[in-house]
Amino acid sequence: MNQSTINQLLCTGHVPSDSDQGLLLGNMTTHGVLAKIEVKGHQLLLLFKKGESLSYTGKKMFFWLLALLILCGFLWNYKRQLKITDITDKYIFITGCDTGFGNLAARTFDKKGFHVIAACLTESGSTALKAETSERLHTVLLDVTDPENVKRTAQWVKYQVGEKGLWGLINNAGVLGVLAPTDWLTVEDYREPIEVNLFGLINVTLNLLPLVKKARGRIINVSSIAGRLAFSGGGYTPSKYAVEGFNDSLRRDMKAFGVHVSCIEPGLFKTGLSDPIKATEKKLAIWKHLSPDIKQQYGEGYIEKSLDKLKGTTSFVNVDLSLVVECMDHALTSVFPKTHYAAGRDAKTFWIPLSYMPAVLQDFLLLKQEVELANPKAV
């Protein structure tokens, strides 16, 4: 049987009878063509199915692959829903509890039954929080930029938690600082947000880390979508980029100790931190001290035009602070916490996806929100 005959048989399932090669085609059956091949005393019986094609095999493979993906999705979702038990004997420490996310988190976790230690910057914030919570919650005055204050607080927390250790550390304290074009600023304008948002967070973590390791607990660092995309000049964005880096290295270092480290990246939320009036006042104060050359380049109406642009984005601002607290809750109580949480509709649908896009697309979309300069060539 020559090669062309074999090829014709494999491709069509039908060849003319060839007694010299020992090939005999049987009758058509309900399943297809039955053929017997005899070469040098060896017989091979073949059944060529009617309508058999790669498309059929491909459809079966696609079906099983789809079923496998659905099963994996179900198991993944089920795994994320598994929760720890006995939270009533666990201690958590939260910074920045005067207002905003930290305040809501302290009240929420107190109601859930955790032993909450809430760090506030002001006496008034501490008093107001204690008035709204149970006797189980304790407050402490803490300035995260004061190393001695941080050390004393860590010693006091160690006394409070005893041998149980600290189950949860939520690094939430932060400031916005000045948001303005980079050439308006001095290095001092960068210092405050970096001191609070980065060095304060690191210092608190290092001092409380032995207690978290003892409990094999959780560390939750509140970053921002500004840790993914630089949307304004100033120290806030660099501080949050650095928090992301610290978070990732800490997560890998603590894995061997059974400590889970998570990072929360909120979008734009309506809090005291992002008060547009305060942000504008800071920008106006800097404008007054700018050189005539820079004022000429940007134009006298630059700040007013920036405010008008900002008003157009108010519909994207999240008002439900519980979206961030829900992420904290999952990171604290899930058997399998996530490494990163995006909080807010804008973060999930715009900022985080955009952070994966090419720089040319990021620049195009973000620069569309910038005010056109009056005379950029006046240098």
Give the closest residue to 371 by CA, choosing from 283, 308, 290, 278: 308
Say what the pLDDT of residue 21 is.
Answer: 45
Determine contact, residues 268/274, Cβ cutoff 8 Å: yes
The CATH number that domain 91-368 falls under is 3.40.50.720
| 91: number of Cβ within 10 Å | 22
Determine contact, residues 222/172, Cβ cutoff 8 Å: yes
Say what the pLDDT of residue 64 is.
Answer: 79
Please check the confidence at residue 9 and state whether its pLDDT lies above 80. Answer: no
Q: How confident is the model at residue 301 (pLDDT cuts 50, 70, 90)?
A: confident
Structure tokens at 60: 């079966």
Give the strand pairing for 138-141 and 115-120.
parallel
Indicate which residue of 91, 190, 236, 241 is catalytic. Answer: 236
Among 115-124, 181-190, 280-289, 348-357, the range scoring the smallest mean pLDDT is 280-289
Say what the pLDDT of residue 309 is.
Answer: 74
Active site residue 159: no
Indicate if the alpha-carbon torsion angle 94, 154, 239, 175 is positive or negative: positive
Tens of pLDDT, residue by residue over 107-157, are 999 999 999 999 999 999 999 999 999 999 999 999 999 999 999 999 999
CA atoms of 231 and 5, how far apart (whole Å): 70
User: Would you tell me the crossing angle of helices 100-112 and 123-131 to the nearest 10 degrees?
Assistant: 30
Say what the pLDDT of residue 68 is.
Answer: 81
Mean pLDDT, the chain, whole residue set:
86
Q: Locate tokens 């949307």: which residue?
A: 231
C-alpha pair distances (Å), 150 with each of 30, 54, 216: 84, 68, 22
Give the strand pairing for 168-171 and 23-28.
unpaired
